[in-house]
Amino acid sequence: MTIKEQKVKSTEKVGETEEKSEEPRIGVFVCHCGHNIAGTVDVEEVAKYASTLPNVVKAEHYMFMCSKPGVQMLKDSIEELGVNRTVVASCSKNQHGRTFANTIQEMGLNKHRHQQVNIREFDSWVHQKEKEKATLKAKRLIEAGVNRARKLQDVETRKISTTKAALVIGAGIAGLRASNDLAELGIPVYLIERKSTIGGHMTQLNKTFPTLECPQCSISPLTNGVANHPLIELYTNAQIKEVEGSMGNFEVEVEIKPRYVKDNCTSCGECAANCPVEVPSEWDSGMSMRHAIYKAYPQAIPATYVRSKKDCIECNTCVNVCPVQAVDFSMQPETKRFKVGSIVVAVGYDEYDPSEIEPYHYKQEGYENVLTQLQVERMLAPGSLTNSQVLRPSDGKIPKNVVMIQCVGSRNDQVGNKYCTGVCCKFAVKNARIIKEMYPNSNVTICYIDVRTPGLNFEELYKSAQEVGVRFIRGRPSEIIKDPVSGELIVSVEDTLSQTPLLLKGDLVVLSAAMVPPEGIGPLGSKLQVLRSKEGFLKEFHIKMNPTLSSKGGIFLAGAIQGPKDISESVAQAGSAAAIAAAPLVKGYIEKEMLVPSVDLDLCVRCGLCKTVCSPAAIQMNDDGTPMINEIACKSCGMCMPACPTGAIQLLNFSDEQLLDEIIAVSGGGGVCADD
Amino acid sequence: MTEIECEVIEPEVLEKMENIVVFMCNECGQGSANTAGVARMAYNPAIRIVRVQCTGQVGPIQIMDAIDNGADAVACIGCCIGACHFFNGNILSMHRIKLLKKVFKELGYSDQFVNQYTARAGEGETAVGDFEDLVERLATAIREEGTVKDGC
């Protein structure tokens, strides 16, 4: 295992370490948080109660502890009264625990001497109707905090050097942007793409809203730039096999599937022209055919052709016709290991498959004229089979009545997606306008629940679509029916504004399908050990304050993998991910708090049980059978503690003895601290 | 969100629940309780939350200490199965609670005084649901067999 090999190159103590034997002098500060706490909890009484607890030298209450004067109170108490442990009863540890910890660190105390007591989220906010009981609970919690603070020990912070390289998973617009930004900061980047080409969904589009710009023109400088950047190593047809290590020092194993075409390919296209196999093109959303040996689209990067082993009949025609003998069926998958410091996940999204919604008959026989927005986009794109025209797939004629259905697979409880994808309205409005401008004699209708086009220039886009004559009907269609006589499609919808049921003729029905998490995100998520939201997207650390960090340190999210996003948002998030992923790599180190267990060798019976439960494999056995703890790999989970039959192994600041003090107070032990 | 009304617990039973100690892990456990707090989801004020690094850190010592010092019930709330931030702490804890339930039964107490739950940081409902279930189970146990302090 590589985690074991991680070495601390520089060890430096941050913060002063003081004598453990000194008398604890505890300062308790109760926050009103405006009315948030004081409206439910009698803070005055709580502070008074706190002052009666042993070792408490100061107990006060104040309007906003996190404000400058509040923080000053902490500083003053340390200076004037010699307080050496602080307890602040206010919000959660995640919110302001760090504020106060940093404050006492500024004053020369170790920041682990601060104990945060949460009486807002855990008390006042949830017991608003039971003020007396909430006050009693606040007292108990504060007493527990004081008991806990009494024995808090200093925790040393160490600097761990980081590997100056980054891994970016996914080469769509977000991944490309993140790779480019990281490389521009001087960090070597390994860019991994599952498909054979880079560029992702953006290359499939015809025009981007709101300016109706050509996406190929926007993205090609970036794709070319990334492909030719000296600091970026690009691997296509590649997948993550294994991820080891932690923040700052990861080791990643990547499997690269062969293209079966060597790099000397000149992309002349002879092989594809002679290939007898034809299958629907995935890149073209099934709107055209490709061969078993193919290049997804003319501008594709890398330009080397690729053979799909699944589709190939091994007739060897391509091998024989290739003028430079680039086609080689004997190529084997290879495995590479990369050492990186940060990982950016930018694996994007998949378009929702509407065939799940039975009444819309998507992909069913006789309903060829039911398409998704991405398929229409492919028809409209330059160089398509239809010559950039929107035609009915059933007979290749210009549609007379185009009906677009919004919210297919999003805002729909029945398929399990409650969220609004947010881009479909813009997407549909744009395509409706393009179709209406192309065929002024055709009717274009959008059936919507709500039209959501927020942001600069989007309302204007919506207005412009209305002006060219796109019809908007408020109502979610219940069914697409096929007229048994004429064979025409009829969309059944209730106009909820005029409350009239309508049967709309639609010889082309376009479904605005949702964005859903991409296929294979489950295994990838578990390899990376990051959390996913209930919708299946990767969960961000904090929705407002850190939407770019994943649940695990050192792994960052960019683009639609964190939630549905349009191109501008994906690019913005990718830039942010690159910046914060680069920070520890540019700096060269990260700081780790040595909140690690220690072993009392007198009590240790050398049973090795602690080793068996240690998930990051931070405990190894010495030759004499005693455990040895790898302090860098340790994740401070404390799982080794209950495993030990004799209580020999104790996690710093979470030892049995320290927890007991807290438990006594919360269990109603009442005012008496454990003597020892 | 629809609120499902649980069976009403009699005030005399509720009165007997003074301190319910809940060990919540630093990750999903604390996270879901925070989310519940932000959403102002009310629950029984007897619930006392203790922050631990992982539910795998909570051993029989801690649980028995709590009961010994006056807790009416103890629960551990960790991450969902498969989502433990430390690989399998929640499962270890679950096994431990299962064994403790047997110990409680052997000693002649109700096995509902110790429980294990999971929660999701993004969904406060999960934590509140756990608390409600915990209170309900405790109420049933108190009605049938009395509190842990009564010695059943």
Q: Where are chain A's structural domains?
A: 26-157, 166-257+335-349+517-587, 350-516, 596-651
* pLDDT bucket at A620, cuts 50 / 70 / 90: confident
Q: Do A166-257+335-349+517-587 and A350-516 show the same overall fold? A: yes
Q: Please choose, from the candidates A167, A158, A246, A337, the residue with its C-alpha nearest in 3D space to the C-alpha of residue A615.
A: A246
d(CA A638, CA A652): 9
Query: What number is the average pLDDT over the span A308-316?
Result: 93
- DSSP labels for B20-54? EEEEEETTHHHHHHHHHHHTT----TTEEEEEES-
The pLDDT tens digits of the residues spanning A331-350 come to 999 999 999 999 999 999 99
Q: Which of A531, A537, A540 to mutate to test the interface with B (most CBs of B within 10 A)?
A: A531
Q: Which of A399-413, A481-495, A520-534, B90-104 has the lowest mean pLDDT?
A: A520-534
Radius of gyration (Cα) for chain B, nearest Å?
15
Predicted local confidence at residue B7, as pLDDT: 67
* pLDDT bucket at B151, cuts 50 / 70 / 90: low
Question: What's the complex ipTM?
Answer: 0.94
Give the pair of three-digit tokens for residue A64: 């906003």
Determine phi and psi for A173, rounding to 5 degrees.
-60, -40
Amino acid, single-letter form, for residue B147: T
Q: What percentage of chain B carries pLDDT values higher than 70?
A: 93
* A166-257+335-349+517-587 topology per CATH: FAD/NAD(P)-binding domain (3.50.50)
Domain A26-157: CATH architecture, name and number where available: 3-Layer(aba) Sandwich (3.40)
Q: Please choose, from the candidates A597, A625, A595, A630, the residue with its C-alpha nearest in 3D space to the C-alpha of residue A609.
A: A625
Q: Which residues of B touch A637 (CB under 8 A)?
A: 53-54, 56-57, 85-86, 89
Distance from CA of B144 to the nearest CA of A (A): 23
Per-domain residue ranges of chain B:
11-145
- Which CATH number does the domain A596-651 belong to among 1.20.1250.20, 3.40.50.300, 3.50.50.60, 3.30.70.20? 3.30.70.20
Q: Which residues of A touch B122 (CB under 8 A)?
A: 533-534, 539
Q: Is it the case that residue A411 has pLDDT exceeding 70?
A: yes
Domain B11-145: CATH architecture, name and number where available: 3-Layer(aba) Sandwich (3.40)
* Contact assignment for B69 to A127 by CB distance below 8 Å: no
Query: What number is the average pLDDT over the span A128-149?
Result: 93
Q: Which residue has the higher pLDDT, B44 or A632?
A: B44
Predicted local confidence at residue A514, as pLDDT: 95
Do the Cβ atoms of A378 and A542 come closer than 8 Å? no
Predicted local confidence at residue A331, as pLDDT: 93
Predicted local confidence at residue B2, as pLDDT: 54
* pLDDT bucket at A671, cuts 50 / 70 / 90: very low
* Contact assignment for B57 to A663 by CB distance below 8 Å: no
Predicted local confidence at residue A18, as pLDDT: 44
Q: Which residues of B touch A531 (CB under 8 A)?
A: 83, 121
Do the Cβ atoms of A514 and A408 come closer than 8 Å? yes
* Contact assignment for A638 to B52 by CB distance below 8 Å: yes
Q: Which residues pair with A463 in a beta bridge?
A: none
Q: Is it the case that residue A9 has pLDDT exceeding 50?
A: no
* Contact assignment for A534 to B87 by CB distance below 8 Å: no
Q: Please choose, from the candidates A64, A107, A48, A53, the residue with its C-alpha nearest in 3D space to the C-alpha of residue A82.
A: A107
Q: Please choose, from the candidates A240, A212, A220, the residue with its C-alpha nearest in 3D space to the C-alpha of residue A173.
A: A220
Q: Which residues of B touch A552 (CB under 8 A)?
A: 85
Distance from CA of A27 to the nearest CA of B (A): 20
Query: What number is the average pLDDT over the span A518-525?
Result: 92
Q: Which residues of B touch A133 (CB under 8 A)?
A: 45-46
d(CA A291, CA A288): 10
The pLDDT tens digits of the residues spanning A54-90 come to 999 999 999 999 999 999 999 999 999 999 999 999 9
Q: Is it the case that residue B5 has pLDDT exceeding 70?
A: no
Distance from CA of A493 to the nearest CA of B (A): 27
The pLDDT tens digits of the residues spanning A178-201 come to 999 999 999 999 999 999 999 999
Q: Which residue has the higher pLDDT, B7 or A50?
A: A50
Distance from CA of A118 to the nearest CA of B (A): 9
- DSSP labels for A75-118? HHHHHHH---EEEEEES-IIIIIHHHHHHHHHTTS-GGGEEEEE
Q: What percentage of chain A carries pLDDT values higher than 70?
A: 96
Distance from CA of A203 to the nearest CA of B (A): 34
* pLDDT bucket at A630, cuts 50 / 70 / 90: confident
Predicted local confidence at residue A675, as pLDDT: 38
Predicted local confidence at residue A3, as pLDDT: 40
Q: Which residues of A touch B37 (CB under 8 A)?
A: 92, 118, 120-122, 125-126
Query: What number is the average pLDDT over the span A263-284?
Result: 93
Find, in chain B, the residue whose alpha carbon is nearest to that of A644.
B59
Q: Is it the case that residue A4 has pLDDT exceeding 60?
A: no
The pLDDT tens digits of the residues spanning A236-268 come to 999 999 998 878 899 999 999 999 999 999 999
How many CB pairs below 8 A link A and B?
154
Q: Is it the case that residue A5 has pLDDT exceeding 50?
A: no
The pLDDT tens digits of the residues spanning A548-580 come to 988 778 899 999 999 999 999 999 999 999 999
The pLDDT tens digits of the residues spanning A93-110 come to 988 999 999 999 999 999
Q: Which residue has the higher pLDDT, A109 or B1?
A: A109
Q: What does the mean pLDDT of chain B come to?
A: 88
d(CA A88, CA A90): 6
Distance from CA of A134 to the nearest CA of B (A): 6
Contacts of A643 (CB under 8 A, 6+ apart): A609, A610, A612, A613, A649, B92
Predicted local confidence at residue A543, as pLDDT: 76
Predicted local confidence at residue A466, as pLDDT: 95
Q: How many C-beta atoms surround the C-beta of residue A401 within 10 A?
A: 18
From residue A79, alpha-carbon distances to A68, A72, A76 in Å are: 16, 10, 5
Do the Cβ atoms of A609 and A643 come closer than 8 Å? yes
Burial category of A575 from C-beta neighbours within 10 Å (exposed 0-12, middle 13-18, buried 19 and up): middle
Give the pair of three-digit tokens for residue B137: 């189970």
Predicted local confidence at residue A542, as pLDDT: 72
The pLDDT tens digits of the residues spanning A15-53 come to 444 444 588 999 999 999 999 999 999 999 999 999 999
Predicted local confidence at residue A21, as pLDDT: 58
CATH number of A350-516: 3.50.50.60
d(CA A661, CA A151): 9
Q: What percentage of chain B carries pLDDT values higher than 90?
A: 62
Q: Which residues pair with A592 in a beta bridge?
A: A158
* Contact assignment for A92 to B60 by CB distance below 8 Å: no
Give the pair of three-digit tokens for residue A569: 């948002």
The pLDDT tens digits of the residues spanning A348-397 come to 999 999 999 999 999 999 899 999 999 999 999 988 889 999 999 999 99
Q: Which residues of A touch B147 (CB under 8 A)?
A: none
Predicted local confidence at residue A644, as pLDDT: 93
Of A134, A529, A659, the CB nearest to B45: A134
